[in-house]
Amino acid sequence: MKLLDKYILREYVKTFLIIVFAFAVLFLVVDISDRMPRLIRKGATAENITTYFLLRLPYLFLLTSPIVVLLSGLFLMSTLSKYNESIAIRSAGISVLRMVTPLIWFGLFFSIFILILGDFVLPGAEAKRQIIYNEHIKGQKVEDKKMRSHIHYLGKDNNLYYIGFFDGYRNLLKTIDITQIDETTRQVIRKITSTNALWKDEHWEFHNCYIRNFRNGEFTWAEHYDSVTIPEVDVSPQDFIKSAKKPISMNYFELKDYIARLRKIGEKISKELVQLHLKISFPFANLIILLFSVPLVTASSRSRGRGLIFGLGLLVCFLYLSALRICQSLGYNEILSPLVAAWLPNIVFSILGIFFVIKAEI
């Protein structure tokens, strides 16, 4: 069996590498044709253009990996069926599932490889590509993420916060308004206003601060402090600093930390949560899609159905990617939960893939 495993795996990897190279050339040509005129008009140098397109390769490889995996499997199964090798293997008492076990292991390890690529290589490549495009080619200044204004967020105990201005260079807040709401009556019970607050010794020190107290919606009494610390304010300067990176330019832990900071200051996080779950779910599409190449091994060398099965395999890959994009959009718009949006296509197509494998076994 080891000899058969090595043969199937060797033939698959050989086909896989050829298709990877072909796809890389094809997508680079298409990408260059589409973007090159725009880059030249913006005055990009040859060095910038070359680096820009080379940094696109990790993204293109990750994006097309399910198609490459499926095509490689379809070509291999077609060859085994065409030369009756699959019939000889099955005649020896070897099941279809056992025959394709090396491919399943390959799909699993390749999915893990894509997961690592997407978490360690792709973010750095995309971040560098954005810098080249925005700063070196377009000549734009880097957006200052340490200066923000008009910040609204919901803090702990349902306190409503308004920050007029945040200066991340000096860790300074200006024009602070904190409204505390009674969870039962939904009425204001305390209101805090301050001219400014300075981050000092791991807490905010409020200056010229007024604390007004209310009962049953009516003002009762007020306090004034030249300088005071308020424990309810549970955010740090880092929480106010927007990340200059896009989600695709962050690894899993960077994005998770960014989401936590966005949640603290009341920003919408549905899009980022979907992207976070996709960083885990999408790589395993390679294993799932590979299952759809198995039925081709049972087709006769003279069967006209081989071409049909080949076409259906590609159709399945297209449907999977379409379903992924649709669920992603529904997750962005909070119609589906981020977890469901990222994993639903995997679950549905896993069930279909297993069904086809079982059917091929019968």
Largest CA distance in the chain: 92
Report how far residue 202's alpha carbon sits from residue 91's, in angstroms, rounded to the nearest whole number. 73
Instruction: For 185-227, write each residue's pLDDT tens digit.
Output: 778 888 889 999 998 888 889 999 999 998 887 888 888 989 8
Q: Which helix (H) or strand (E) holds 28?
A: helix 2-41
Q: Nearest to residue 114, comparing CAs of 322, 279, 352?
A: 279
The encoded tokens of residue 125 equal: 């490549």
Q: Where are the beta strands (DSSP E) in the chain?
A: 147-154, 160-167, 172-181, 188-200, 203-215, 218-229
CA atoms within 13 A on the CB side of 194: 27
| Whether 205 contacts 176, CB under 8 Å | no
What is the predicted pLDDT for the residue at 280? 93
Per-residue pLDDT at 244 exceeds 60: no
The encoded tokens of residue 76 equal: 């291999």
Question: Which of the given ranges, 139-143, 198-202, 242-246, has the highest pLDDT on average?
Answer: 198-202
| Whether 81 contacts 89, CB under 8 Å | no
The encoded tokens of residue 295 equal: 């039925």
Residue 148's DSSP bridge partners are: 166
| Whether 298 contacts 82, CB under 8 Å | no
Instruction: For 94-121, write each residue's pLDDT tens digit.
Output: 777 788 888 889 999 999 999 999 888 9
Q: Nearest to residue 209, comparing CAs of 221, 222, 227, 191?
A: 227
